[in-house]
Chain A
Amino acid sequence: MVELKNVSVTYSTGVDALNNVSLRINDGDFAFVVGSSGAGKSTLIKLILKEIDATSGVVMVNGCNLTKLRKKKIPEFRRTIGFVFQDFRLIPTMTVYENIAFVLRVIDAPRKYIRKRVPYVISLVGLQEKANAYPNQLSGGEQQRVAIARALVNDPQLIIADEPTGNIDPELSYEIVELLKGINECGTTILMVTHEHDLVRHFGGRIININSGEVVFDEVIGGVNEA
């Protein structure tokens, strides 16, 4: 669950990135965050990751009050969130398997569990054949699926996808969102930032539009495919 109460963020340069935003994303929700560049989408993401702190207001993520969270606790907190980035951010020197197993090693998971869990999530994203390939041997869509498997592997409560379709072919974009939808149906909250309106219109669901640091639209719309 993500909850923002009267949150404002002012950067040291004097720029007001978010202005008195209140927002609540419940467990199990799937929400699109849209808005033009510079509207405050990135600031919202950074807030939720605790990369930056709110100038005022309260940010609650997965039961943690981020304004009060101590620096030492940040790694522990981040383990409850999965991330998917626009540029995939896979480690080029590691195979698909290693890239995913890596996340579990970071959280000190038992080796037995790693050996069971990693092939399972690889099969979820349909890349069994490519488990030993390196990222540069994969297409953009495949790389993003690896990234999704990586976000998924430690069973996070919340997955944040920042423009996950930004760097891949439009026809493959739908596949990626389908995948995220499927994950959402299993109970994981998903927050997807995008500016591809076609995609949003196609799938529908909850749309949060941020403009000039304020939430200007927050409603559930029907998708084309659900009509």
Chain B
Amino acid sequence: MKLSGVRYLTRQGLENIWKNRMMAFASFCVLLVSILLVGVSVLLFMNLDSMIGGIEDKNEVIVFLNTDITQEQTEQVQSKLEQMDNIENITFYSKEKAMEDMKESMKEYADVFDSLGTDNPLPDSFRLRIKDISHTAETVTLMKEIDNILKIRAPYDFVNVLSEIRNIITWVASAVIIALAIVSMVIISNTTKASVFARRNEISIMKYVGATNAFIRFPFFVEGMVTGAVAGVIATIITWIGYDAVVDLLTHEVNLLNVIGVGSIIPFGKIAIKVAVIYALAGALIGALGSVFSTRKHLDV
């Protein structure tokens, strides 16, 4: 096909959108809803993942040392901890600091603390982070073998639940996304079928005058692709507005995020371009494929 032919057919495809605007609008709406459903699922998943990541980042193991420990023994414990692979960010938290923090957080019990005088029943401790939280249990068992350790407090139950949730969400989200993509394709292919049907006379005339299948298909292809891309752009705008509204609600109205940590929500500005490009491409691809499948099935006279 010559370039002038491609130009002509592209223009035909664009004109067809206007000429069959009801049909094009139907395709557009279906694509818009599909892209929104898939897009919102993905964004939700990404945010859940980021939140879980945020909580994981906060995972902190506290290693309490025996109260009668010497300076030398403390250093021994520290060097042993430092030798372990799955640990990072080891910080020493002295019993004096612990006492101060406790007094600070429980001012109404100042009398009780004062009555202790210079006695400090609190133990020294190390605070550290586990690198790979899925191996928390093993790491804790290893740590327990070190001498002079009183107690280890690790959030491994919580961590296990989180890993589990993340796995489940990954599976569910993947399944939902694949299902929605397939449903969108089927619906688009049906809409195109209707659009092909509406133009069956035109197509039959084209066949009679010797149009090749590619020639007949091309405008439908353009039509599907452009409709899909436009749906993608509109979906981006709707997602943007909706996303910001939800984030606003969560940050200002509900204190929920203070529990989880606000920093975990991905700000839309950070992913806007990515979302727009993916939406438009996905829309164009689904629209084009849907129309190609549908015309392929219908154009064999």
Residue total for B at the interface (Cβ-Cβ under 8 A): 20
Tell me the nearest residue of chain B to A106, going by C-beta: B211
> Is there an interface contact between B212 and A75, defined as CB atoms closer than 8 Å?
yes
Task: Provide the B82-118 mask, 1 if CB < 8 A to any CB of A, else 0.
Answer: 0000000000000000000000000000000000000
Quote the shortest CB–CB distance from A107 to chain B (angstroms): 6
Q: Does B244 contact A (CB under 8 A)?
A: no
User: Is B70 part of the contact surface with A, judged by Cβ < 8 Å?
Assistant: no
CB <8 Å contact, B5 and A108: yes
Stretch at the interface among A77-85, A165-173, A187-195: A77-85
Are B209 and A103 interface neighbours, CB within 8 A?
yes
Instruction: Please tell me if B127 contacts chain A, counting CB pairs below 8 Å.
Output: no
Any chain B CB within 8 A of the CB of A5?
A: no
**Cβ contact within 8 Å between B211 and A75:** yes
Contact in complex: B4, A106 (CB < 8 Å): no
- Interface residues in B191-242 (C-beta closer than 8 Å to A): 201-202, 204-213, 215
Chain A, residues 94-120, CB within 8 Å of chain B (1/0): the string is: 000000001101111011000000000
In the bound assembly, the distance between CA atoms of A107 and B212 in angstroms comes to 9
In the complex the two chains form, is A78's CB within 8 Å of B201's CB?
no
Number of chain A residues close to chain B: CB under 8 A = 21
Pairwise interchain contact B209-A93, C-beta atoms closer than 8 A? no
Least Cβ–Cβ distance between B199 and chain A, in angstroms = 9
How many Å lie between the Cα of A77 and that of B5 in the bound state? 20
Q: Are B209 and A79 in contact (CB under 8 A)?
A: yes
Q: Given A77-B210, A83-B208, A105–B8 Cβ distance below 8 Å? A: yes
Distance (whole angstroms) from the CB of B30 to the closest CB of chain A = 24
Q: Shortest CB–CB separation between residue A146 and chain B, in angstroms? A: 12
Q: B5 contacts A49, CB within 8 Å? A: no
Measured between beta carbons, the chain B residues less than 8 angstroms from A108 are: 1-2, 5
Which A residues, 99 to 147, have Cβ-Cβ distances below 8 Å to chain B?
102-103, 105-108, 110-111
Determine whether the beta carbon of A89 is less than 8 Å from that of B210: no
Task: With A91-B202, A105-B8, A106-B215 as known contacts, state yes or no: A49 contacts B208, CB within 8 Å.
Answer: yes
Q: Give the chain B neighbours of A78 by CB distance below 8 A.
A: 207-210
Question: Does residue B151 face the partner (Cβ distance < 8 Å to A)?
Answer: no
Bound: A49/B205 CA distance, A: 13
Q: Is A51 in contact with B211, judged by CB distance below 8 angstroms?
A: no
Q: Are B210 and A91 touching (Cβ within 8 A)?
A: no
Q: A105-B8, A106-B215, A108-B2 are in contact. Are A79 and B210 (CB under 8 A)?
A: yes
B19 at the interface (CB under 8 A from A): yes
Name the A residues within 8 Å of B259 (CB-CB).
none
**Which A residues are in CB contact (< 8 Å) with B213?**
75
Shortest 4 CB-CB contacts between residues of A and residues of B: A79-B210, A78-B210, A106-B211, A75-B210
